[in-house]
């Protein structure tokens, strides 16, 4: 990916050096534009070194050589245009069409639709109605505005204006760059285990980490879908930018959250490992360690997939099968008995792992083996198979 990174004179500029380094290490091709105020804070040599790239400054604005006109040629070069950090001053200039330095000239000349701006400043400057009006104007003109976070600021104050973590910025860049075959699709994904309470301290659960569901949500967002993620108690960071994130604990809470949203979505992917049984009674106090044996009477939980399969109208329903034996046979049986459109079969060993190896079955008879590979790649393959169903007449 070719990324043109504009850097302005905010104290958070030191963090953007890390962003440039990370983007380069991931194989992206960089060019960096620094404003005059940015140069006062950090040397262009630093950015050139960490980004392994050319760095342009205001002194290059009219340095025309061999027909190369910096602001027009650079504006045609990138796949994605990023300004991070963006000061209130630069935001105001771009919003009102000023072109008084190399960066703002490039922004005025850039006619691509993949552009990201990352404001960072004192919280009173950020919350000023003029700044907010300028950001709304940029958003209406096709800029993705990545809002700052709340925290301690360099000025010693506390509020919303802090430069977000570079991982968030990188994910935003990836979302902008990817093709959008799932654009217009509303998708609900479940992830993680469930907790079935025995008493206030103990639960019955399983080994699911939530990684597969979270990767599906992340990749679905990159592919352009509107994503709702319903997650059990996973211990990993939820993916950035999902449109709705719902945290649940029990199988019943999972059922309620999914059914409530079922008619609002086009696709449901049940990647969660939902408990099949739950205690008949839950003790209100901690059960003491007394008897040599403890018997817990269990009852069946509601089969969410089966319920959705009976209720679905035009929705696409995708299930997961995890088995320790006879995986393909059980998966195929589940595909038809629960009225699914697609099922992903994977071995028990994949639970909690960063890698997976799956077989994708569709109700039209298609079977496809994917992996072993990283779960991110597995998620992409699953969702690309979903595109075929989505686009079917």
Catalytic residues: 155
Query: Where are the alpha helices (H) located in the chain, listed in sequence order?
Result: 13-25, 36-39, 44-51, 70-76, 88-95, 102-109, 123-127, 129-140, 166-177, 211-222, 251-262, 304-311, 327-337, 375-390
- Quick check: 88 and 125 in contact, CB under 8 A? yes
Q: What is the C-alpha to C-alpha distance for residues 393 and 391, in angstroms, rounded to an integer?
A: 6
Q: What is the C-alpha to C-alpha distance for residues 383 and 209, in angstroms, rounded to an integer?
A: 20
Terminal Cα-to-Cα distance of the chain (whole angstroms): 34
**Dihedral sign of CA atoms 11, 12, 18, 21 in order:** negative
Q: What is the C-alpha to C-alpha distance for residues 87 and 121, in angstroms, rounded to an integer?
A: 6
Q: What is the C-alpha to C-alpha distance for residues 66 and 63, in angstroms, rounded to an integer?
A: 10
Q: What is the C-alpha to C-alpha distance for residues 69 and 332, in angstroms, rounded to an integer?
A: 61
- Quick check: 196 and 206 in contact, CB under 8 A? no
């Amino acid at each position: 990916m070719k990324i043109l990174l504009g850097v302005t004179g905010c104290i958070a500029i030191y963090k953007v050096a890390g962003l440039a380094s990370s983007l380069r290490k991931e194989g992206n091709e960089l060019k960096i534009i620094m404003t005059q105020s940015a140069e006062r804070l950090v040397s262009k040599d630093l950015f050139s070194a960490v980004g392994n790239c050319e760095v342009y400054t205001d002194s290059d604005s009219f340095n025309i050589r061999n027909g190369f006109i910096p602001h027009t040629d650079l504006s045609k070069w990138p796949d994605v245009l990023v300004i991070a950090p963006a000061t209130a001053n630069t935001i105001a200039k771009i919003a009102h069409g000023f072109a008084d330095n190399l960066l703002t000239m490039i922004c005025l000349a850039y006619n691509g639709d993949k552009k990201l701006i990352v404001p960072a400043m004192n919280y009173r400057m950020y919350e000023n109605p003029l700044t907010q009006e300028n950001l709304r104007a940029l958003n209406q003109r096709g800029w993705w505005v990545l809002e700052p976070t709340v925290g301690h600021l360099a000025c010693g104050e506390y509020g919303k204006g802090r430069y977000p973590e570079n991982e968030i910025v990188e994910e935003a860049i990836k979302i902008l760059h990817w093709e959008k075959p799932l654009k217009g699709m509303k998708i609900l994904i479940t992830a993680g285990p469930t907790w079935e309470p025995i008493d206030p301290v103990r639960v019955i659960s399983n080994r699911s980490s939530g990684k597969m569901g979270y990767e599906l949500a992340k990749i679905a967002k990159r592919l352009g879908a509107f994503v709702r993620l319903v997650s059990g108690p996973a211990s990993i960071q939820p993916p950035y930018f999902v449109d709705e994130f719902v945290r649940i604990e029990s199988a019943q809470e999972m059922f309620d959250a999914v059914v409530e949203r079922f008619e609002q979505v086009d696709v449901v992917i049940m990647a969660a490992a939902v408990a099949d049984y739950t205690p008949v009674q839950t003790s209100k106090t901690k059960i003491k360690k007394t008897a040599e044996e403890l018997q817990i009477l269990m009852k069946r939980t509601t089969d969410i997939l089966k319920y959705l399969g009976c209720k679905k109208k035009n929705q696409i329903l995708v299930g997961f099968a995890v088995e320790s034996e006879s995986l393909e046979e059980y998966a195929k049986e589940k595909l038809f008995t629960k009225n699914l459109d697609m099922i992903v079969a994977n071995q028990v060993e994949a639970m909690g792992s960063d890698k997976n190896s799956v077989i994708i079955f569709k109700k039209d008879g298609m079977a496809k083996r994917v992996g072993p590979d990283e779960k991110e790649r597995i998620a992409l393959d699953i969702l690309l198979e979903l595109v075929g169903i989505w686009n079917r007449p």
